[in-house]
Structure 1
Amino acid sequence: MGDGGARIAVVTGGGRGIGRAVVDRLHADGSKVVTCGRSARPGDLDAGVFWVQADVARTADAARVVAAAAEFGHVSVLVNNAGIQLEKTVRDTTDDDWSLVMDVNCKGVFNMCREVLPDMIERGGSIVNLGSISGLVSDPSMAIYNASKGFVHALTRSIAVDHGPMVRCNAVCPGWIMTNMAESGFVLSKEPSRAKADAIARHPARRFGTPDDVANAIAWLVSEQAGFVTGQCFTIDGGLTAASPLQPGLF
């Protein structure tokens, strides 16, 4: 089932948010994109994108996604976007909470990388994992989510070191990107609108990010232009983590 030499890309969690922006961007760039999610195919997904209903935390499902993509040819791009956010401290986190977050955010990324690596090691490829600034600085009341992103960053470096030069592996670390997941973080505040305004003021870019901001970076990372880039975690946060708590407008 060849596709005329088009690059074959797998994007997990491509139904909405950042994942959907990545799917749309890679598809627009000419890739044959295979994406997946735990729900049914979104009705507005481009007809040229192949959908697999799957839970990548399940080893068999991850294998099924990659096998479906391999029907089109060599899978040379993997973007691990699927993830779950949980707003709890360590004290309040249950065993079920742990399994829910770690299975998707950690095991899911591991499963997908393990599935594509044998072929990529032989024929080349690029992996981009979705980390987060939450793996660099800790968001309050999101303990195991923060920890799961630290895992993603470390796994990214290990894959780059162990499987270069044929495989490049990088991570992007988004900050406040306006998706449903980000909105749920503001709901934790006693005054969500005030918390959002304060957060914007702390960004040198003076805005929150968009899914397209992340998709643009990923498109570059999987391109030949980034051929000397591997093992890196790229922060995409409008300068949030670079800034001092002291705001210039107050001085």
Structure 2
Amino acid sequence: MDKPTAIVMGSSRGIGRAIVDRLLIEGYNVATCGRGTRPDDLNVAAYWVQADVSFTGDAEMLVQEAKSVFGRVSVLVNNAGVQIEKTVAESEDNDWDLVMNVNCKGVFNMCRAALADMTEHGGNIINIGSISGMVSDPSMALYNASKAWVHGLTRSIAVDHGPKVRCNAIRPGWIMTEMAEDAFALAKSPDAAMVDALSRHPVGRFGTPNDIADMVTWLTSDQSAYVTGECFTVYGGMTAASPLNPGLF
């Protein structure tokens, strides 16, 4: 039996890289892309395409190339994302263009390109949103808004394109990647902010990229066949408690 094919966005590091590695283990052919050259440490089994999916033509080219190399695409994971550490008042037009082109338009372009076949043959779309689309991080206005948009698009795809296509989102919490480190760096005391944030996690740790890859594995499996239009928050229980610091009690 031929292997199923998946496209994974944003695989140069962090969450995207963990998802690529996991899907390869799970027996998928994996195509991925980036605006630059292929990362030296990317798994050799992954097929790399240099592309900027904020451009419609690049997104369509990526889907067509994955099809020509491996066959019909059955899974799309939209993970590419950027953040700008600014408030609305501080943000400039070029900040808007960067964040919205990658986090919103890129996701839209990839979904639209993949749906051209998926609406006929079936498929599974997983969008990586963020807890920041639910509860806003300070000085991350455009990022927060862009992730809320991803959550809304996820529900629309599920409603409009089911039952052929399932579409769900994962909302990661504090996953320790370079983006998380950049966010903590905004605090007056990054170390104190990290200690305080950790104390609010009932599981007693921050997340890892593999925690999100675990959720992707489930969403691509038959065990989640009755699940669509949902946004799953994977965050170690960070906002489950009241605002009182549990470390003081």
* One-letter amino acid matched to 2:111: C
List per-residue Cα deviations over 1:76-135 (Å, max 9, x = no partner): 000000000111000000010000000000000000000000211111110000100000
**Equivalent position SS for 1:242:** coil
* One-letter amino acid matched to 2:163: P
**Corresponding residue to 1:22 among 5, 19, 24:** 19
**Equivalent position SS for 2:239:** helix
Which residue of 1 is the match for residue 211 of structure 2?
213
* Structure 1 CA distance for aligned equivalents of residues 118 and 20 of structure 2: 20
List per-residue Cα deviations over 1:171-215 (Å, max 9, x = no partner): 000010000000000110111111111110011111110000001
CA RMSD in angstroms comes to 0.8
Which residue of 1 is the match for residue 9 of structure 2?
12
Which residue of 2 is the match for residue 89 of structure 1?
87
Q: Does residue 1:42 correspond to 2:39, yes or no? A: yes
Q: State TM-score, norm by structure 1.
A: 0.97
Q: Does residue 1:155 correspond to 2:171, yes or no? A: no
5 Å-filtered alignment, 1:129-148, equals: 129-148=127-146
* Structure 2 CA distance for aligned equivalents of residues 11 and 99 of structure 1: 23
Unaligned runs of 5+ in 1: none
* One-letter amino acid matched to 1:70: K
* Structure 2 CA distance for aligned equivalents of residues 130 and 123 of structure 1: 23
Which residue of 2 is the match for residue 69 of structure 1?
66
Q: CA deviation at 1:249?
A: 3.5
Which residue of 1 is the match for residue 166 of structure 2?
168
* Structure 1 CA distance for aligned equivalents of residues 41 and 179 of structure 2: 20
Which residue of 2 is the match for residue 184 of structure 1?
182
Which residue of 2 is the match for residue 113 of structure 1?
111
* Structure 2 CA distance for aligned equivalents of residues 185 and 164 of structure 1: 36
**Corresponding residue to 1:244 among 213, 238, 242:** 242
**Amino-acid identity (%):** 64
Q: State TM-score, norm by structure 2.
A: 0.98
* Structure 2 CA distance for aligned equivalents of residues 243 and 40 of structure 1: 44
Deviating 4+ runs (over 6 angstroms): none
Native 8 Å contact 2:207 2:235 kept in 1: yes
Q: Does residue 1:32 correspond to 2:19, yes or no? A: no
* One-letter amino acid matched to 2:28: S
* One-letter amino acid matched to 2:2: G
Q: CA deviation at 1:248?
A: 3.1
* Structure 2 CA distance for aligned equivalents of residues 18 and 26 of structure 1: 12
* One-letter amino acid matched to 2:105: K
Q: CA deviation at 1:247?
A: 2.9
* One-letter amino acid matched to 2:37: A
Unaligned runs of 5+ in 2: none
